[in-house]
């Protein structure tokens, strides 16, 4: 039997029968529109005119000099409209959903960035929007909840399980089985059943496409390393994609280690998880010996997910990409460091990538180049980081 | 003819219970009572942390069982005890990762050892079944497929390859009690029968009243009830055995 949407042994379509025709319909529509000149033109216009692409590739001179090793460039996805890379995928999927005749978007969100992006696209394209968000995350990211509502979306706090991102995904899937005909599930990361990991990756691959062009313009060559944070892994796969076939480029995904990979309070899936089947895909998951999905922890609501996208699991298996753990402490320190050094406040998710770049750069030569994807901006995190540092600030 | 087929010699009533909710001893008494009350086949749920096809009632049952520390091995031990007396076919209903993490081969071998008859995995559709079904077959376990209101032209291939029975999902959405079932279940069943005249069809999702059961039994070979039972177990806890027993009796009477 043909197994669709596999990355090595990972991926697949482990979903209820009720959703099968919906994902098949989605795959057919995507296969049709992805090469349709009109679709491509519309999406490109949205990227450029609405989202503000291409995003800048910024040479972080002070950071480079201070660390005293490789040259560091920051891919500024934080400068996109809505403040993160999430908009790339959402504009693609919303446009696709619109072409498919869908009038309603549902989405899960962790930190709220994907929810805000989906609410934004829904407002722009006159679509109804419902966002599922773990109740715990609605508290951690209250400002983003307000933003989504302001944009006309309804936000449903999810109280089941650990009340975080994985439960928001489960609840969005449940809602999709309930209402399929007019509804597209705008999944926010390179995860879930086929064709989502492929669709989301393709829409996010604009990141590496631009990095490649921009770095050629500035340096006339490929980078030596590309670093991005990984929850489900959409900004990372977007940053890696056009370099996968370039063996000289090291690809490094930074997982949220929370309080450390030797503790239970971690979300570092590749480093601590094992092979499993969940949320529509085969991949690595944090789980116990009987396959019960483990409660995960990270200071970052956006990386607080017990799985990882199937393509990352495959890149790990074949040794093409490396996945490193970064703790809360390291991420918070990098959050503050980038703010003070470059005047750029990264999302706490992206700060995980910055933290690893800080470790790696000094070990490399001055003529080498690292690109770090700053997947989002950190305004949303300021109050939480202040609290982490013992200051009682509330939004 | 497998044991499961025998369950459909008359209209079958198929109750569901989540193992270990509220504890294993109560589950054992409930299953014994279900058989005495006339259940033709019993679905045993192995709890999973994130049951994405379940509504709030069965989600709650899964959570209660897991918070009691129930493991897959505990469930196998329970079935072994049950099989000392229970004669009706027993079918597991759980999620892919519970089976996969145990080892598909090891899981199916244990199933055969303790006397299970079939397995339902709501997150394993036709496209992914080759990972599970052949191993089940090797151990004499029926891998029971589901068809949904959205399945349409998929019904033919699903039904043709079905083993045990076909689980007809009556409604869109997740498991849970519904006031009305609006799907054309009759058409769904007739498409299954057209593709595979011999395979029994049992209808589940949303059924709770004797009237609904009677109506569904007219068009299908069996009726599956989960959430309505689990809700009572959630309400009455260790005292739920007589309540479930009475309920199963009423439902069995309604369809025969």
Q: What digits encode the pLDDT tens for the residues A378-391? A: 998 998 899 999 98
pLDDT tens, residue by residue, A14-69: 999 999 999 999 999 999 999 999 999 999 999 999 999 999 999 999 999 999 99
Strand segments, DSSP code E, in B114-186 are 118-120, 142-143, 146-147, 166-169
Within a domain: B182: no
A199-209 average pLDDT score: 98
In the beta sheet, which residues pair with residue A277?
Answer: A282
Q: CA-nearest residue of chain A to B52? A: A170
Q: Given A86, A166, A282, A380, which residue is catalytic?
A: A86
Assign residue B144 a region: left if phi > 0, alpha if psi is -120 to 50, beta otherwise?
Answer: beta
Give how far A222 is from chain B: nearest CA, Å: 40
Give how far B235 is from chain A: nearest CA, Å: 19
- Interatomic CA distance for residues B256 and B248, integer angstroms: 12
Q: Specify whether A300 is catalytic.
A: no
Q: What is the pLDDT of residue B1?
A: 47
Q: What is the pLDDT of residue A111?
A: 82
Count of domains for chain B: 1
Within a domain: B176: no
B151 Cβ under 8 Å from any chain A Cβ: yes
Within a domain: B202: no
Residue numbers in A near B151 (CB within 8 A): 17-18, 20-21
Q: Over 80: is that where the pLDDT of A110 sits?
A: yes
In this structure, the strands spanning B166-169 and A321-327 are unpaired
The interface predicted TM-score (ipTM) is: 0.96
Q: Given A108, A136, A255, A342, which residue is catalytic?
A: A108
Within a domain: B190: no
| Chain A, window 18-37: residues with a beta carbon less than 8 angstroms from a chain B beta carbon | 18-22
Q: Over 90: is that where the pLDDT of A1 sits?
A: no
Q: Specify whether A44 is catalytic.
A: no
Within a domain: B236: yes
Nearest to A134 by CA among A154, A161, A114: A161
CB atoms within 10 A of CB B138: 12
Supply the range of the domain harboring residue B10.
3-144+213-250
Question: Residue B45 belongs to a domain with what CATH number?
Answer: 3.20.20.70
Q: What is the pLDDT of residue A140?
A: 77
Residues of chain B with pLDDT under 50: 1
Q: What is the pLDDT of residue A3?
A: 62
Q: CA-nearest residue of chain B to A6? A: B128
Q: Given A205, A298, A300, A375, which residue is catalytic?
A: A375
- What does DSSP assign to residue A47? I
| Chain B, window 15-74: residues with a beta carbon less than 8 angstroms from a chain A beta carbon | 48-50, 52-53, 55-56, 59, 63, 66, 71-73
Q: To probe the interface with A, which of B18, B45, B52, B66 has the most A CB atoms within 10 Å?
A: B52
Within a domain: B169: no
Confirm if A239 and A226 have CB atoms less than 8 A apart.
yes
Determine which helix (DSSP H) or strand (DSSP E) holds A75, and give its type and residue range.
strand A71-76
- Interatomic CA distance for residues A374 and A278, integer angstroms: 28
pLDDT tens, residue by residue, A159-187: 988 888 999 999 999 999 999 999 999 99
In this structure, the strands spanning A280-285 and A10-14 are antiparallel
In the beta sheet, which residues pair with residue A374?
Answer: A76
Q: Specify whether A170 is catalytic.
A: no
CA dihedral A172, B170, A19, B21 (to 10 degrees): 50
Q: What is the pLDDT of residue A10?
A: 98
Q: To probe the interface with A, which of B74, B150, B205 has the most A CB atoms within 10 Å?
A: B150
A166 Cβ under 8 Å from any chain B Cβ: yes
Within a domain: B163: no
Q: Over 70: is that where the pLDDT of A394 sits?
A: no
CB atoms within 10 A of CB B141: 26
Mean pLDDT of chain A: 96
- Interatomic CA distance for residues A253 and B194, integer angstroms: 51
Give how far B246 is from chain A: nearest CA, Å: 31
Residue numbers in B near A305 (CB within 8 A): none
pLDDT tens, residue by residue, A354-384: 999 999 999 999 999 999 999 999 998 998 8
A330-339 average pLDDT score: 98
Q: Which residues, including other chains, have CB under 8 Å from residue B214's CB and lie 6 or more apart?
A: B254, B255
In the beta sheet, which residues pair with residue B21?
Answer: none
Q: Please indicate whether, in this complex, the C-beta atoms of A14 and B98 are within 8 angstroms of each other.
A: no
Within a domain: B89: yes
Q: What is the pLDDT of residue B182?
A: 76
Residue numbers in A near B143 (CB within 8 A): none
Q: Residues of A312-338 as b/e, b for ≥16 C-beta within 10 angstroms? A: bbbbbbeebbbbbbbbbebbbebbebb
A229-239 average pLDDT score: 97
């Amino acid at each position: 039997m043909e197994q669709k949407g596999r990355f090595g042994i990972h991926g697949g379509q482990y979903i209820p029968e009720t959703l099968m025709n919906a994902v098949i319909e989605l795959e057919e529509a995507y296969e049709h529109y992805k090469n349709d000149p009109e679709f491509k033109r519309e999406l490109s216009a949205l990227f450029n005119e609405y989202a503000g692409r291409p995003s800048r590739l910024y040479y972080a001179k002070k950071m480079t000099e201070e660390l005293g090793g490789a040259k560091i460039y920051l891919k500024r996805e934080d400068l996109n409209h809505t403040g993160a890379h999430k908009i790339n995928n959402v504009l693609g999927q919303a446009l696709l959903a619109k072409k498919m005749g869908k009038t309603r978007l549902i989405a899960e969100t962790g930190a709220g960035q994907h929810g805000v992006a989906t609410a934004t696209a829904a407002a722009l394209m006159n679509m109804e929007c419902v966002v599922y968000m773990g109740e715990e995350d609605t508290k951690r990211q209250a400002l983003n909840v307000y933003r989504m509502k302001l944009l006309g979306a309804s936000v449903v706090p999810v109280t089941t399980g650990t009340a975080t991102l994985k439960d928001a995904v489960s609840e969005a899937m449940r809602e999709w089985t309930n209402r399929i005909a007019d509804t597209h599930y705008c999944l926010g990361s390179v995860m879930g059943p086929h064709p989502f990991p492929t669709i989301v990756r393709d829409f996010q691959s604009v990141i590496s496409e631009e990095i490649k062009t921009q770095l050629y313009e500035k340096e006339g060559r490929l980078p030596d390393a590309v670093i991005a944070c990984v929850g489900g892994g959409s900004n990372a796969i977007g940053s890696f994609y056009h370099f996968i076939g370039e063996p000289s480029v090291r690809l490094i995904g930074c997982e949220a280690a929370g309080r450390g990979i030797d503790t239970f309070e971690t979300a570092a899936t590749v480093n601590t998880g094992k092979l499993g089947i969940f949320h529509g895909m085969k991949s690595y998951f944090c789980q116990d010996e009987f396959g019960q999905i483990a409660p995960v922890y990270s200071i970052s609501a956006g990386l607080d997910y017990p799985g990882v996208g199937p393509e990352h699991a495959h890149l790990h298996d074949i040794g093409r990409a490396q996945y490193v753990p970064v703790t809360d402490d390291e991420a918070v320190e990098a959050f503050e460091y980038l703010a003070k050094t470059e005047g750029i406040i990264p999302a706490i998710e992206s700060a995980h990538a910055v933290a690893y770049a800080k470790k790696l750069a000094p070990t490399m030569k001055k003529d080498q180049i690292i690109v770090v994807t700053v997947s989002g901006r950190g305004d949303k995190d300021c109050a939480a980081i202040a609290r982490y540092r013992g200051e009682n600030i509330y939004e | 003819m497998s044991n499961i087929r025998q369950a459909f010699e008359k209209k079958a009533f198929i109750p569901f219970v989540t193992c270990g909710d509220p504890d294993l001893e109560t589950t054992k008494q409930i299953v014994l009572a279900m058989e005495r009350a006339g259940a033709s086949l019993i679905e045993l749920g192995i709890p999973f942390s994130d049951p994405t096809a379940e509504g709030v009632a069965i989600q709650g049952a899964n959570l209660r069982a897991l918070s009691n520390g129930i493991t897959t091995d505990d469930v196998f031990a329970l079935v072994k005890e049950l099989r000392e007396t229970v004669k009706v076919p027993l079918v597991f209903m759980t999620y892919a990762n519970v089976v996969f993490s145990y080892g598909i081969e090891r899981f199916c071998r244990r199933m055969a050892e303790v006397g299970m008859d079939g397995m339902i995995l709501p997150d394993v559709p036709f496209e992914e079944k080759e990972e599970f079904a052949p191993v089940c077959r090797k151990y004499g376990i029926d891998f029971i497929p589901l068809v949904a209101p959205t399945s349409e032209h998929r019904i033919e291939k699903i039904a043709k390859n079905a083993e045990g029975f076909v689980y007809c999902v009556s409604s869109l959405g997740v498991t849970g009690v519904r006031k009305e079932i609006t799907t054309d279940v009759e058409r769904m069943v007739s498409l299954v029968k057209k593709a595979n005249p011999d395979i029994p069809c049992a209808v589940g999702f949303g059924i709770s009243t004797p009237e609904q059961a009677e109506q569904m039994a007219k068009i299908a070979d069996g009726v599956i009830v989960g959430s309505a039972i689990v809700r009572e177990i959630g309400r009455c806890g260790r005292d739920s055995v007589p309540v479930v027993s009475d309920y199963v009796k009423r439902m069995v009477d309604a369809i025969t």
